[in-house]
Amino acid sequence: MLNEMGLVTLDAETVNGLAAGFRGDLITPADAGYEEARCIYNAMIDKRPLLIARCENVADVIAAVNFARDNHLTTAVRGGGHNGAGLALVDDGLVIDLSPMKGVRVDPVARTVRVEGGCTWGEVDHAAHVFGLAVPSGIISTTGVGGLTLGGGHGYLSRKYGLTIDNLLAVDVVLADGRFVTAGAGENQDLFWAVRGGGGNFGVVTSFLFQAHPVGMVYGGPIIWPIDQAEEIMRWYLDFIKDAPEDIYGWFGFHRVPTGSPLPEALYGAHGCVICWCYTGPMEKAEEVFKPIRALGTPALDLAGPLPFPALQSMFDQIYYPPGLQWYWKADFVKEVGEEAIALHLQYGSDLPSELCTMHLYPINGAVHRVGENDTAFSYRDMTFSSVIVGVDADPANAERVSQWARNYWGALHPFSAGGGYVNFMMEEGQDRVRATYRDNYRRLATIKHKYDPANFFHVNQNIKPNA
C-alpha cells in the first residue's frame, strides 16, 4: 500500500499473507536480525529494505516475486552479497535473498556441477575438488556464484577454460511474471544467450549447471616485488602474458602489505607490485616454467608453489578482502597498455592512499578469445585485460578519499581503454556506460528484456531497459 508520501509501505497483515505460504524467513526492520540481514560485503552500502525474503527453495522465490509485483515493491536479488555497487539491496523495497539455497551436486562422470543460487564459489570449490574438478570462476572464494556468472566471470582458469559463462550449460530462472523456466542450448535459447553476461536483468536464477574441468593441484600464489621495480616487472608482464601458454595465468597489481596480515611483519605497509600466478600444466614441469619468472628483479616475497586449487581461490579472502570494508570500484576493458598508460599506472599505483587500495589487470585472452563477441552477451572478446581500480579502506571516514583516488586513476586511464568495463566491477555508471559495456549486443539484450520482463521489474542492476 501507499502512504501519504506516495511511498510503498507494508503492514503486518500484508506480510502475513506472504508468510502463510513461505518456508524461509521474512525479516522486517522490526526484527532483531534485521541489521545483520541487510549487511553485504561492501560496507559503503547502507540500504534499508522494507522486507528481506530469505528463500529456502524455488517455491519461495516464486512467492516472493509474485508478492513484490502485486504489491508494487522495488525488488533486488541477493546471492552471495558481494555486489560492489550494492545492487543486492534496495531502500524501501523487497530483497529476494537466495543465501539459504546452498545445494551443490557434482556429477564426476559427466563432469558437471549443479549449483543453487545462494552458493559462493568456495562452496563450489569444496564440493568439486574432492573429484579433482573445478569450474572457472574468479579469484575470491567468498564471491557469490550468481553475480559473478551472470556478469561473465573471469579468473584464474580463464586463459585455459574461458569465462565462467563459457562453461555454463543451463540455468533455471524465475521470471517477472512468476513463471519458472529452464534456459539452455535446447530451450529458451534467447534467454540463455542473454544471461551469459547480461547480469540479473532477466529474472532470478535459482540454479546453474556448469561444465567442470580436471583441476586439482596447481602451482600458484603471489610473487611481490618492491615498488621501485614495478616498471620493469610491469613491462615484462605485459609482453609475457599476451602469448603465454594457456595453462599459465597471472594477474598483475599494485599493493601494499596490510598491517596485521599473515604475511611477514617486516613487510607490513610495504609498497610493491604483485603477480599472482596459477599454473595448471604438469606439476613436474612447474619449477622449470617458473625459473625465468623468478629471475626477474629481486622479489620481496615469493609465495608461489604447489597447492590445492581451493587454497589459491581462498588465499586473499581474509588477507586483503574480508567483508565489512569500504569499497569503490572503477573498471575498463583494455586491449593494449601503451607507453602513456604505463606511465599513468606507475604514477597512481605508486601513490596508493591506503594499505588496501589497489589496481589489478586480469588477463582475458587465451581461451576467452575462442568464443565470438556475439555468441554471448559478453561482447569484449577481443580484449587482453579487464582492469579494475579499487579504493578500499576499513574506516568510513576515508571512504570519499579512496573513492576519489579511484575515480581520478580511472579518469586518467579511461581514454586508453575500449570504452566499456566488466559489469561486475561497475558502480553508479549510468545508461551510457551500460550501453558501452555491451556494445553491439545491447539492442538484442533490450529486445530479449522486453520479451521476458517488459515492465522492467528487475531493474535494480546495471539495467538494460526493455525495447519493444
Answer yes or no: is pLDDT of 63 > 80: yes
Residues facing 386 on adjacent strands: 333, 362
pLDDT band at 453 (very low <50, low <70, confident <90, very high): very high
CB 294 within 8 A of CB 224: no
Give the domains, in start order, of the chain with CATH numbers: 12-97 (3.30.43.10), 104-214 (3.30.465.10), 217-425 (3.40.462.20)
Query: Model-level pTM?
Result: 0.95
Amino acid occupying residue 428: E
> Is the pLDDT assigned to residue 296 strictly greater than 80?
yes
Task: Assess contact for 38 and 90: CB atoms under 8 A.
Answer: no
Q: Residue 388's beta-bridge partner residues?
A: 331, 360
Q: How far is CA 20 from CA 28, 29, 109, 273, in A?
A: 16, 19, 41, 55
3-state secondary structure of 159: helix
Q: State how far the alpha carbon of 450 is from the alpha carbons of 344, 418, 445, 457, 468, in Å.
A: 42, 28, 9, 11, 6
Residues 6+ apart with CB under 8 A from 406: 328, 329, 330, 357, 389, 390, 391
What are phi and psi for residue 174, nearest 5 degrees?
-95, 120
Residue 468 pLDDT grade (very low, low, confident, very high; cuts 50, 70, 90): low
Question: What does the pLDDT look like over 344-401, one tens digit per residue?
Answer: 999 999 999 999 999 999 999 999 999 999 999 999 999 999 999 999 999 999 999 9
pLDDT > 60? residue 2: no
Average pLDDT, the chain: 95
Q: Which amino acid is at 84?
A: G
Per-residue pLDDT tens digits for 211-267: 999 999 999 999 999 999 999 999 999 999 999 999 999 999 999 988 888 888 888
Report the share of the chain in percent with pLDDT over 90.
89
pLDDT reported for residue 99: 97
pLDDT of residue 261: 83
Q: Residue 208's CB: how many other CB atoms inside 10 A? A: 26
Res 9: pLDDT: 76
CA–CA gap between residue 148 and residue 79 (Å, rounded): 10
Q: What is the pLDDT of residue 6?
A: 52
In tens, the pLDDT along 442-451 reads 999 999 999 9
Measured between alpha carbons, how far is 177 from 207 in angstroms, rounded to an integer? 18
Quick one: pLDDT at residue 83?
84
Half-sphere exposure of 443 (CA within 13 A, CB side): 1
H-type alpha helices, 165-229: 189-195
Helix (H, G, I), strand (E, B) or coil at 359: strand
| β-bridge pairing 248-256 and 326-334 | unpaired
When pLDDT is cut at 50, 70 and 90, the band that residue 49 belongs to is very high
Q: What is the DSSP string of 225-250?
A: EEGGGHHHHHHHHHHHHHH--TTEEE
Confidence of residue 4 (pLDDT cuts 50, 70, 90): very low
pLDDT at 319 over 80: no
